[in-house]
Amino acid sequence: MKPAISIAQVCCILSLCVDVPLRAEDASIDRLLKKVPPPEKIIKPSAPQQPQRKEPALQDPLLVQIFALVNMGDVSQARFYSRKLSEKYPQSESALILWGECAYRLRYYDEAAGVFQRATALAPRDGYAWMELAKAENSLGHAGTTLNAMAKAAQVSPNDGELAAVIGFNYINLNRAREAIPPLQRASRLLPQDYLVQSQLGYCLLITGQPNAAIGHLQKGASLKSSYGPVWQHLGVAYQKQGRHRDAVTALEKATKLLPSSRLSWQHLAEAYQATGRSTDAQRAAARAQQLGGGKPSKKA
């Protein structure tokens, strides 16, 4: 890390996320990237007591002017001067981040992405720069390059559990559950009390044919937040695969109470009822599933 910049830890407050029945939250990239603080909160003009700072750009009077313009809401002029600052100090990561952020705020996403790419080339171990690049690529609709930049940020920030979790969630949203498992496993070690991490890791293990490994994580997710409907559905399915049909009934009954519009929950419950000899209940649950047809599960637990 360069002494000229204090890099804030990139994080996502998962406890504020909205629950989604079967997959990770749809906007998790956006939720994470909105937590990246603006550069004026990170890059500070050098103070007299810090003469050892190595980036001349941080001692240039233009920097103070740029911050003042940003604070006044004149981002267009701030972009102009931050570009000038970067041209004056082409090896300054700080100047590039300021320029890129101003371009991003003005919705010049292509320009911002190009500038942030230059910043990551200058400072490849700066997680903040990689997250800025991910933010710009996400705004351009480039899911693959967004994830690559986030993965790079996670690589240089191996102890950031929130970042690992969000990367895992977004692999799920891209239907790449197997690739979601390693970052979610890392997140589960770093965030053992996070219900969504445990639940989504269990989900990925389940749908990749590892129900035995999934059950412990699903049980923990359910214990951490019993009102989260998807974890009960996935736990019920995992129990079914183990032949624990009574346990499956209990879990799936909770799932249908929390997700009354989930056709799959009712369908699995009908199967579990049938396996335990409750034919009448099975018919009723199957009828409910058929009534719901191809409708999507409820969006809220």
- Take residue 54 and report the two structure tokens written for it: 């190595």
Angle between helices 195-207 and 177-190 (to 10 degrees): 150
Cα distance between residue 301 and residue 298, in whole Å? 7
- Domain positions in the chain: 36-157, 226-301
Cα distance between residue 224 and residue 241, in whole Å? 23
- For 100, 173, 187, 189, the CA distances from 225, given in Å and listed in that order, are 40, 22, 17, 18
> Which residue reads 């997140």 in tokens?
187
Residue among 219, 188, 217 nearest 202 (CA): 217
> Which residue reads 């001067």 in tokens?
81
What average pLDDT is seen over the chain? 82
36: how many CB neighbours lie within 10 A of its CB?
21
| Out of 51-60, 75-84, 189-198, least confident range | 51-60
What architecture does CATH give domain 36-157?
Alpha Horseshoe (1.25)
Answer yes or no: same fold for 36-157 and 226-301: yes
CATH superfamily of the 226-301 domain: Tetratricopeptide repeat domain (1.25.40.10)
Decide which of 60 and 295 is more confident.
60
Q: What is the pLDDT of residues 146-159, one digit of tens each?
A: 889 988 988 888 88
CA dihedral (225, 230, 231, 236) positive or negative:
positive
In sequence order, which residues have a C-beta less than 8 Å from that of residue 99 and are 6 or more positions away?
79, 82, 83, 85, 86, 115
Please tell me the pTM assigned to this model: 0.69
The pLDDT of residue 34 is 53
Cα distance between residue 262 and residue 201, in whole Å? 21
Helix or strand or coil: residue 175?
Answer: coil
DSSP one-letter code for 278: -
Indicate if the pLDDT at residue 60 is higher than 50: yes
Q: How confident is the model at residue 48 (pLDDT cuts 50, 70, 90)?
A: very low
In sequence order, which residues have a C-beta less than 8 Å from that of residue 58 and are 6 or more positions away?
4, 43, 44, 45, 46, 92, 94
Q: What is the pLDDT of residues 178-222, one digit of tens each?
A: 999 999 999 999 999 999 999 999 999 999 999 999 999 999 999
